[in-house]
Chain A
């Protein structure tokens, strides 16, 4: 494999892996902060116990999110230095601002939260988790603004003297319409992810250990499930907005590839199932619903949707010879599976919520297996969403401006092969350890009645808590 292929694989592996932890961090920070606030406001101890229980899962997950994030920041320079030179004037600022505004906030206040149980007044302690939650969300905003610029460049100009893209408007960069659609979509998906985790774990306890902390886990299930269901609705709505923007304006090729629509059609049918030939260059068998793609893509039942072949011909005229078509089977299936698996997650949470209505105690095996799978479903949907977004943009690294082939560093293939192997093995090992800890702590259940923090108990003058 070439340096280019290896660098792409490494970026894909490390990014998909990093984003397994990010959504849980973002969504769960808000839920844990919410639980702690519920404890403060209601005085009911079970909210405190839930705070500590889900807080532990949060921390196990957070550790890997943080350390894999460092790789992401370094990788642009290490593997994509030509890209970094070409766009650094625009792309670097959101990354630097993310570190300054968000990383400091989340890491510092999380340290205070972990170690501050008997050091800080209760309200201040809860506020620390809210600060973590806000920090993670700010982080998402800036990094998504950077990504949205790669999807739909705005607020820049090309300087022929320096041979690079330069910033024209920071405000335009921060209010990129692609970003305004992507950010709520991603954040909603984070809430779906965390809500599904909270609800799934709570339901497991309700089924497997009935009678143990029932009221607490019922509260957790309701909070998680309602969060997940509401988030699913927002994810669908914002996904629809994004789909229309990209179909009609920003990246018609990505959406044509996601639908395996080869020929421009007006009206266009929606493909329910397309089987293509092996290289994805044309369909062999299709089941379609008439006009539906026109409606979904353009908002009009007889809207015109451009096809892959027509777009390919058009881009050759504009940008010169070459393929401008992403890998169709990947875009087509990642799009369908993202939607399908995301909906399945919402459906399972809905069923779980229904199963405990009016104090019912569910015992169904099917439901048990469903809720065990539940926390994993949004993780899969999230990954597929990013695979669609990033692979659907190919061959571009910055849409219409720079091809991925032109962005890679002048490293040796051996170096990149070594780093890819080492990182993959390390990440794999850590995933096993992380998953085993998550399962261990999720199964253990709520800790027995904790001493309420913030009371100064525990002899803090002589022996502060040894948390680690």
Chain B
């Protein structure tokens, strides 16, 4: 195995990690207007992901950075081809990131509703766009011999890729619902569980259709051997894990439901990457336009440096991120407020007009 193959796997793992982690915090954002009936419930929802969303988003930055470092040709072609979709994602992520921090910084229903809207849109848009983007990676985009994009924005809006967008949207929303069921109490928890069942049905239909379409039409030609079989196996595993997740949620086994859906997202991402291999960005125009792990990669030297750095530091990242989830493992109640030190704007605490409520630190 070449180091470039190892880094192809590493990038697949980074995207899988990103989708598993940010998937649920996108889902929580998307469900904000659906499950959050009042400001207090919405605050509870936001605070379930408050300590972790930023760390989750770094998986995207690491995937992007790793793609740049390990496959500059892929990074350059894909990011410039996806110019407008990425701009839309960037705007969404900017609004969303700011919304977390600024929502509680002022009193007033309009201020909060505005940021709630930003959180919703900022979660919804990337949840769709990432699926559309990956659909187009699998399907191929019109790249010329110089690996420059020869299509336009509408080229990307084909039925297969749009089904990909629906798949990520459904999977992430479901992920958010099972996460909320796991992290909240009372009525909110009950409603999240009830919704999981319906979302599960959509996710199974969309995800099943998308993966079947991928395996039937967009697997790398000429690679029907080991990687082809692996891709089919991963797609099947994703389907099974998803169904288990939905059934577990139905049975009130919230931990199993979340783990099952996380496994489904990871396996589905794996199925897409194995179907793609050894290509990284196929061209629909010309064979020489297709980027592969061989013609898009960095030198063995750069890959070796990156491998050493990742091998040393990734375990630490996993350890301290895991620790964060452990520290904040408890459920968050939506019941009557009990003010904790440093808690924000608790209604029972009267605030002098010009004294801001204590928020954020």
Q: Is A117 within 8 A of B356, CB to CB?
A: no
Determine if A462 is an interface residue (Cβ-Cβ < 8 Å): yes
Q: Is A101 within 8 A of B313, CB to CB?
A: yes
Contact of B338 among A66, A76, A458 (CB under 8 A): A458
Using a CB-CB cutoff of 8 Å, which residues 315-348 of chain B contact chain A?
317, 320-321, 324, 327-328, 330, 332-333, 335, 337-344, 346
Q: Which residues of A contact B82 (CB under 8 A)?
A: 78
Q: Complex: how many Å from CA A105 to CA B64?
A: 17
Q: Is B65 within 8 A of A98, CB to CB?
A: yes
Q: Which residues of A contact B137 (CB under 8 A)?
A: none
Q: Is A458 within 8 A of B361, CB to CB?
A: no
Contact of B337 among A56, A437, A463 (CB under 8 A): A463
Q: Is A167 within 8 A of B75, CB to CB?
A: no
Determine if B299 is an interface residue (Cβ-Cβ < 8 Å): yes
Q: Is B75 within 8 A of A66, CB to CB?
A: no
Query: Chain B contact residues: over half helix, strand or loop, or mixed?
Result: helix
Q: Is B106 within 8 A of A95, CB to CB?
A: no
Determine if B43 is an interface residue (Cβ-Cβ < 8 Å): yes
Contact of B302 among A58, A90, A95, A463 (CB under 8 A): A90
Determine if B91 is an interface residue (Cβ-Cβ < 8 Å): yes
Interface hub of A55, A76, A99, A167 (most chain B Cβ within 10 A): A99
Q: Complex: how many Å from CA A391 to CA B130?
A: 36
The stretch that binds B, out of A197-205, A275-283, A375-383, A446-454, is A446-454
Q: Is A78 within 8 A of B80, CB to CB?
A: yes
The stretch that binds A, out of B51-59, B214-222, B253-261, B272-280, is B51-59
Task: Tell me the smallest distance from the CB of A181 to a CB of chain B, in Å.
Answer: 24
Contact of A409 among B43, B55, B80 (CB under 8 A): B80
Task: Tell me the smallest distance from the CB of B2 to a CB of chain A, in Å.
Answer: 15
Determine if B149 is an interface residue (Cβ-Cβ < 8 Å): yes
Closest chain B residue, CB of each to CB of A452: B341
Q: Is B86 within 8 A of A63, CB to CB?
A: no
Determine if B154 is an interface residue (Cβ-Cβ < 8 Å): no
The stretch that binds A, out of B96-104, B225-233, B241-249, is B96-104
Q: Is B94 within 8 A of A68, CB to CB?
A: yes
Q: Contacts A104-B55, A419-B87, A463-B337 given: A74-B64 contact, CB under 8 Å?
A: yes
Closest chain A residue, CB of each to CB of B150: A410
Q: Is B102 within 8 A of A92, CB to CB?
A: no
Determine if A440 is an interface residue (Cβ-Cβ < 8 Å): yes
Q: Contacts A77-B76, A84-B72, A410-B149 given: A114-B301 contact, CB under 8 Å?
A: no
Interface bits A153-173 vs B (CB < 8 Å: 1, else 0): 000000000001011101000
Q: Is A104 within 8 A of B321, CB to CB?
A: yes
Q: Contacts A77-B75, A99-B65 given: A107-B58 contact, CB under 8 Å?
A: yes
Q: Is A447 within 8 A of B324, CB to CB?
A: no
The stretch that binds A, out of B29-37, B202-210, B304-312, is B304-312
Q: Is A88 within 8 A of B72, CB to CB?
A: yes
Interface bits A70-107 vs B (CB < 8 Å: 1, else 0): 11011011110110110111111101111111011101
Q: Which residues of A contact B68 (CB under 8 A)?
A: 73, 76-77, 84, 88, 91-92, 95-96
Q: Is B103 within 8 A of A92, CB to CB?
A: no
Q: Which residues of B contact A452 (CB under 8 A)?
A: 341
Interface bits A112-125 vs B (CB < 8 Å: 1, else 0): 10111111100000
Using a CB-CB cutoff of 8 Å, which residues 245-290 of chain A contact chain B?
none
Q: Complex: how many Å from CA A58 to CA B360?
A: 10
Contact of A467 among B309, B330, B342 (CB under 8 A): B342
Task: Tell me the smallest distance from the CB of A432 to a CB of chain B, in Å.
Answer: 12
Q: Is A119 within 8 A of B360, CB to CB?
A: no
Q: Complex: how many Å from CA A90 to CA B356?
A: 48
Q: Which residues of B contact A98 (CB under 8 A)?
A: 65
Interface bits B67-92 vs A (CB < 8 Å: 1, else 0): 01110110111111011101100110
Q: Is B55 within 8 A of A107, CB to CB?
A: yes
Q: Which residues of A contact B1 (CB under 8 A)?
A: none
Closest chain A residue, CB of each to CB of B146: A410
Interface bits A296-312 vs B (CB < 8 Å: 1, else 0): 00000000000000000
Q: Is A419 within 8 A of B58, CB to CB?
A: no
Q: Which residues of B contact A99 (CB under 8 A)?
A: 58, 61-62, 64-66
Q: Contacts A70-B93, A103-B61, A451-B341 given: A466-B358 contact, CB under 8 Å?
A: no
Interface bits A434-468 vs B (CB < 8 Å: 1, else 0): 00010011001001101111010111111111111
Task: Tell me the smallest distance from the CB of B57 to a CB of chain A, in Å.
Answer: 7
Q: Which residues of B contact A108 (CB under 8 A)?
A: 54-55, 58, 317, 320-321, 324
Q: Which residues of A contact B91 (CB under 8 A)?
A: 422-423, 426
Contact of B58 among A58, A77, A103 (CB under 8 A): A103
Q: Complex: how many Å from CA A52 to CA B343?
A: 12
Q: Is A458 within 8 A of B100, CB to CB?
A: no
Can you identify 15 A-B contacts, CB atoms within 8 angstroms? A74-B64, A74-B90, A85-B73, A88-B73, A108-B320, A111-B52, A415-B83, A418-B84, A419-B87, A447-B358, A460-B330, A462-B335, A464-B332, A465-B341, A466-B44
- Minimum-distance CB pairs A-B, first 10: A88-B72, A77-B79, A92-B69, A96-B65, A458-B340, A55-B361, A92-B68, A63-B101, A81-B76, A465-B340
Known contacts A70-B60, A71-B94, then 11 further A-B pairs from the complex at CB < 8 Å, ordered by chain A residue: A55-B361, A76-B79, A77-B79, A78-B86, A88-B298, A111-B51, A116-B51, A426-B95, A457-B340, A458-B341, A464-B328
Binding site for B on A (CB under 8 A): 51-52, 55-56, 58-60, 62-64, 66-71, 73-74, 76-79, 81-82, 84-85, 87-93, 95-101, 103-105, 107-112, 114-120, 164, 166-168, 170, 409-411, 415-416, 418-419, 422-423, 426, 430, 433, 437, 440-441, 444, 447-448, 450-453, 455, 457-468
